[in-house]
Every structure is written in C-alpha cells, then in structure tokens.
Amino acid sequence: MNRKILLKDLKIKDYKDTWDYQTTLLQEIVDVKIYNRRNNGTKKTDNYFLFVEHPHVYTLGKSGDLNNLLLTEKQLEEKGATFYKINRGGDITYHGPGQIVGYPILDLENFFTDIHKYLRLLEESIILTIAEYGLKGERSEGETGVWLGVGTPFARKICALGIRSSRWVTMHGFALNVNTNLGYFDHIIPCGIRGKAVASMESELGRKLDIEEVKTKILTHFKASFEIEQFITS
C-alpha cells in the first residue's frame, strides 16, 4: 500500500479547470487499478492532495435542488460568480476568496475501504484544526460537514464536505470558511438546509487568519488522522 501523498497547492484556480484536473488524476489512478486487476499487476497507485482557492462560484451536487440557488443567470454575472452542476454528493455550496478548499484524491485501497469512515476523518481533521484557534467544531447528525453551536438555535456550518468516488478513488472534498465573505451564502440555501447559518473563522474570532498557517495545521491533522507516511510537495 502507498501511504505517501503528492501535495499540490494550486493557489487561485478556476473551478472548472480544477474539476477537470481532479478528473484527470482520478482517471490515471483508476487506469492503474484496472491494469493491475487485468494483468495481475502490482504497480502502486498515487495519492494526491490539492489545495486551491476558487474565484466566486456556486456548485450543485448531483442530488441537489436547483431551487436552492436564489440567483438568476444575470444576477450571477452581476456578482462576478459562476455556477456548475457537478458530480459530487451533497446539495449547493459556495466557493470563493478567503476559503480553503481541499481535494484529496486518494486510492482508499491504500488506506481503508469505507466511505463513511473517510468522511468522518475529513471532518475530524477540520475539527482538530479549528480547535487550535479555540473553536469547538462538531458533527450534526445526518448533516455532513463541520458545525458550530450544534443543538442550539445558533447552529452554523463552518466547513462543507462533498465527495465522489470511483473504484475507491476519491475526488472533491472540503471547503473551510476562513476569511470568506459570508454575504455570498445569502444567495443560496446552503447545502439545501433551511434555517441554519454559515460561519467563518474570521466571523467567529473577529480577526483575519493567516491562510497558510491554517493549511499547515490541516495537513498536520490530516496526516495523523489518515496515518499518512509522507507528504511530497510537487
């Protein structure tokens, strides 16, 4: 099993270009797995972790409801935002500046073959990260992601999760609101959940965060949670 991960920070990158890039990496891994099974091969599969910050964009998961987007095409254009219906799970969410988006493209057969466990460990990595800033992240039953104030009238989501997997290879991932302009969430029903708010680390702490510092902490906790052997920067 290969427990090394190739780490790539794409900085600011268009959503569609990044989606295409993820798809290419996933297909390369799947092709190796298909070759191994057909030829009794033993070639190792690669794992990737992509960091990226997207320009303003709304994305709707494959089971999502388009009615949860509250903007017309013209209004999207006025907001400088784009929209894509994509192939991950979950409903609608927003990506934009000041948000850390992480896309682990892992062959789970290098780790464990359990999608539920995969999602919980992604959540755990974020919960442990924001705990370093004094924020108590929690899970909300039946609602994937990381929340604050669960069980109170002020429950709010600080990190959204949505993934896709093919032959145990993952794509898409998480979006942690760090210094995010939360006003963009006013134009959707986030994750299709009515009556619950969104939060950012900045809105909770009353100050801007060092994005690179937060990324480093995410990697530390991701490495421990998934028992990663090594991150290789490329």
Q: What does the pLDDT look like over 141-155, one tens digit per residue?
A: 988 999 999 999 999
154 assigned to a ligand binding site: no
Domain boundaries, the chain: 4-233
221 assigned to a ligand binding site: no
Cβ within 8 Å of residue 231, ≥6 positions away: 4, 5, 7, 49, 219, 223
174 assigned to a ligand binding site: yes
Worst-scoring range by mean pLDDT, 33-47, 63-77, 201-215?
63-77
pTM of the model: 0.95
Please state the rounded mean pLDDT for residues 112-130. 98
| pLDDT value, residue 133 | 98
Please state the rounded mean pLDDT for residues 177-200. 84
Does domain 4-233 correspond to CATH entry 3.30.930.10? yes
What count of residues does the chain have? 234
| pLDDT value, residue 191 | 58
Backbone dihedral angles phi then psi of residue 143, each to the nearest 5 degrees: -130, 100
Cβ within 8 Å of residue 82, ≥6 positions away: 15, 16, 55, 56, 57, 58, 76
Please state the rounded mean pLDDT for residues 26-47. 97
Please state the rounded mean pLDDT for residues 167-182. 97
Q: What is the DSSP string of 139-163?
A: EETTEEEEEESTTSTT-EEEEEEEE
172 assigned to a ligand binding site: no
Asked if residue 47 lies in contact with residue 2, where contact means CB atoms within 8 angstroms, the answer is: yes
Confidence category of residue 190, pLDDT binned at 50, 70, 90: low
| pLDDT value, residue 194 | 60
Beta strands, E only, the chain:
4-12, 48-53, 57-60, 82-85, 92-95, 99-105, 138-140, 143-148, 156-166, 169-177, 197-198, 230-233
48 assigned to a ligand binding site: no
Question: Positive or negative CA dihedral for 111, 53, 177, 81?
Answer: negative
Q: 119, 191, 199, 211: which is the annotated catalytic residue? A: 191
206 assigned to a ligand binding site: no
Cβ within 8 Å of residue 154, ≥6 positions away: 197
Q: What percent of the chain has pLDDT over 90?
A: 86
| pLDDT value, residue 189 | 82
Q: Is 191 a catalytic residue?
A: yes
129 assigned to a ligand binding site: no
95 assigned to a ligand binding site: yes
| pLDDT value, residue 196 | 72
